[in-house]
Amino acid sequence: MCGIFFSLSSSKPTESTQETCSLLQKRGPDSYKTHTAQKDINAQDGVSPSLSYYLTFTSTVLSLRGDHVYTQPLVDPTTQSVLCWNGEAWKITGERVQGNDTERVFDLFLQAVDSDQKGSVGKMAEAIASLSGPFAFVFYDAVNSRLFYSRDCLGRRSLLEGFDEDGNLKICSICDSASVDCFKEMATEGVCTIDLARYQDPSLSPRELCQIETLPWSSAASTPADHIVCSSCLSSVAATDKGPKRKSIPPMNTSLPTEQPPALTTDSAFVEQLESKLRQSLELRIQNIPEPPGYIAGETAKTAVLFSGGLDCTLLARLSHDILPLDEPIDLLNVAFENPRVAAAAKANQQKSPSSPPFSIYENCPDRITGRAAHIELQATCPGRTWRFIAIDIPYTETLAHRDQVKRLMRPHNTEMDMSIACALYFASRGQGTAQTNPSAQLPTPDTPSPTYTTTSRVLLSGLGADELFAGYGRHSVAFNRGGFKELIAEIDLDVSRLGSRNLGRDDRVLSHWGRETRFPFLDEEFVAWVLRAPVWEKCGFGLPEIEATAGIDCEKLALRLVALRLGLVRVSREKKRAIQFGARTAKMETGRSRGTDALS
């Protein structure tokens, strides 16, 4: 995980604020560097003074690829082109990238722009299209005086853009308190590019002169010449001057069944392929992780799971067991909050029934209950592995102490629901709590507390994306009951299309604050494309005949539930979907009638 800051100004170099520097260094603690470039443009009339623009690049780095830290920004000594890269290029042109990916991407971009300006745009489009993985970047093509910046087409990495009060263009991974009105979340529709050679009038600011062109991501069919398509497409389409026309995220399969679809079982071809495809996605993300600081072989972890004990995260943990060496521990990060409303109700009940057992505000959180149960099932299903359950208990006073920080990180998102979700992710990714490896051991008490443990892992696994792809939300059931498969397809399509704007940028800013990188196996481009191409009735159980083999298993995400069943997770396969803010009890902490969509003050 890395942090990016970029500015384009006409009066003098505009560097990031101290607050921005601090936040970026939290994301990328391994290196920090700023590079400034000056672009001089001679007046066309030969009389007026020449014009100068200043480009400031700042990068911080969390090193997770290769055998050493690759300090950014990368600057080409020959052309003075510059790259700030925040991402993971798992594959380039379908070939798996071994070692560090940043230098590979930089070389790819440099080769693309080593040509005339018109041709370089098309070659850059082709180069970006060849990348598979989550990314955000800023690249300055000094040869042709052109700027490129983008998030990947799913939006898995944060990138904000905007103009400050002086008219300077700023692009950044995070939003500090001084820039709250200037930044907006960059859209995921394509790659933005600016031709700096157009700047001819010294009296105008970058804001007045910036003509930002978007090269959109596009579908494989009938692709215009000014569109970009990513790497995971089914097939190439004839190249134009803007690059090959292939699409990583194809349109969703909207076909409707002409007869009763067959029941899904653990032996169904789609379920078997699903397990294989998910395993392949996970392998890319957890194999060959370098040893983190403080790592002790056989004792501490390289990999941790954001762990509620629900279906998606436990399935990732279970598959990770098959991929990682047996002597490598896996940390399970489970967060529970002191909610004043719940605590007050529990205290009142205790006073009414003094003889009842003491109520633990944390151990009675829904996600703590399911997390403990899933830990037991993992231990039974995968003996020999050290599963370290980290109970992260957050008192209300600590929630309040960090509230402004969480609010700052999630900006420009600013609703009650954003806060309740972001708060849970923020403390979970900190990874600090009490650790337990034996699920049957006695839990710590106030009289016998366990020492605090902080995970060493810099890689966190998240199950985000599973609900959107496999119809895991309650509204999917509502849609099917309202209009059958047609309405269900429309609802899933909407969910997938808004992942980048609704979830991923916010989550990236919050989760990365502790110098850890979150990886989303369910959002691998190839995996997403494969799932979207499948008929909807192969992914969930709506409209399918009931059979004894799946009795008691919910229709939502049925295919994933059957994969869990194949892997021995009998209890987990029957877990109900629960939103993180209710499972960890970050929702509705204060009394009143606030709604999730209400804006924060």
Note the pLDDT tens digit of each residue in 68-79. 889 999 999 999
Q: What is the 3-state secondary structure (H, E, C) of 230-276?
A: CCCCCCCCCCECCECCCCCCCCCCCCCCCCCCCCCCCCCHHHHHHHH
* C-alpha–C-alpha distance, residues 219 and 227, integer Å: 9
Q: State whether 371 and 520 are in the same domain.
A: yes
**Which region among 134-138, 263-267, 350-354, 531-535 has the lowest average model confidence (pLDDT)?**
350-354
On the question of pLDDT at 96 being above 70, the answer is: yes
Domain endpoint, select from 178, 200, 216: 216
Q: State whether 290 and 178 are in the same domain.
A: no
CA distances from 99 to 40, 91, 104, 279, 325 (A): 37, 11, 9, 21, 20
Determine the average pLDDT of the residues in 97-101: 90
The torsion angles phi and psi of 355, rounded to 5 degrees, stand at -85, -10
The answer to whether residue 110 is domain-embedded is yes
On the question of pLDDT at 246 being above 60, the answer is: no
Lookup: tokens for 361: 């505000």
Q: State whether 90 and 185 are in the same domain.
A: yes
**Which region among 127-131, 222-226, 393-397 has the lowest average model confidence (pLDDT)?**
222-226
The answer to whether residue 101 is domain-embedded is yes
- Return the top range by mean pLDDT from 499-503, 543-547, 558-562: 558-562
**Which region among 151-155, 314-318, 570-574, 594-598 has the lowest average model confidence (pLDDT)?**
594-598
On the question of pLDDT at 274 being above 70, the answer is: yes
Q: State whether 298 and 182 are in the same domain.
A: no
Residue from 2, 210, 313, 555 carrying the catalytic annotation: 2
* The predicted structure's pLDDT at residue 239: 32
Determine the average pLDDT of the residues in 390-396: 97
Lookup: tokens for 581: 């803010």
On the question of pLDDT at 295 being above 70, the answer is: yes
Determine the average pLDDT of the residues in 261-288: 96
User: Domain of 16: which CATH number?
Assistant: 3.60.20.10
**Each residue's pLDDT tens digit, 4-20:** 999 998 888 988 999 99
Q: State whether 205 and 299 are in the same domain.
A: no
* The predicted structure's pLDDT at residue 231: 43
* The predicted structure's pLDDT at residue 447: 67
- Return the top range by mean pLDDT from 38-47, 222-231, 404-413: 404-413
Active-site residue flag, 2 = yes
The answer to whether residue 248 is domain-embedded is no
Q: State whether 74 and 157 are in the same domain.
A: yes
Residue type, 299: E
Q: State whether 524 and 421 are in the same domain.
A: yes
Number of structural domains in the chain: 2
H or E element: which one contains 393? Answer: strand 387-394
* The predicted structure's pLDDT at residue 203: 63
The answer to whether residue 297 is domain-embedded is yes
Q: State whether 143 and 209 are in the same domain.
A: yes
Q: State whether 22 and 152 are in the same domain.
A: yes
The answer to whether residue 257 is domain-embedded is no
Is-contact 66 97, C-beta < 8 A?
A: no
The answer to whether residue 240 is domain-embedded is no
In terms of Cα–Cα distance, which of 64, 55, 81, 56 is closest to 27? 64
Domain endpoint, select from 216, 251, 279: 216
User: Domain of 539: which CATH number?
Assistant: 3.40.50.620
CA end-to-end span of the chain = 31
Q: State whether 177 and 301 are in the same domain.
A: no
**Each residue's pLDDT tens digit, 495-541:** 998 888 888 999 999 999 999 999 999 999 999 999 999 999 999 99
Tell me how crowded residue 150 is: count the other CB atoms within 10 A of its CB. 26
The answer to whether residue 274 is domain-embedded is yes
Q: State whether 443 and 522 are in the same domain.
A: yes
The answer to whether residue 253 is domain-embedded is no
Domain that holds residue 146: 2-216
Return mean pLDDT, the chain. Answer: 88
The torsion angles phi and psi of 583, rounded to 5 degrees, stand at -70, -40
* The predicted structure's pLDDT at residue 242: 47
**Each residue's pLDDT tens digit, 347-390:** 787 777 776 777 789 999 999 999 999 999 999 999 999 999 99
Domain endpoint, select from 152, 187, 216: 216
Is-contact 461 521, C-beta < 8 A?
A: yes
Confidence of residue 115 (pLDDT cuts 50, 70, 90): low
Q: State whether 88 and 209 are in the same domain.
A: yes
On the question of pLDDT at 55 being above 70, the answer is: yes
pTM score of the predicted model = 0.92
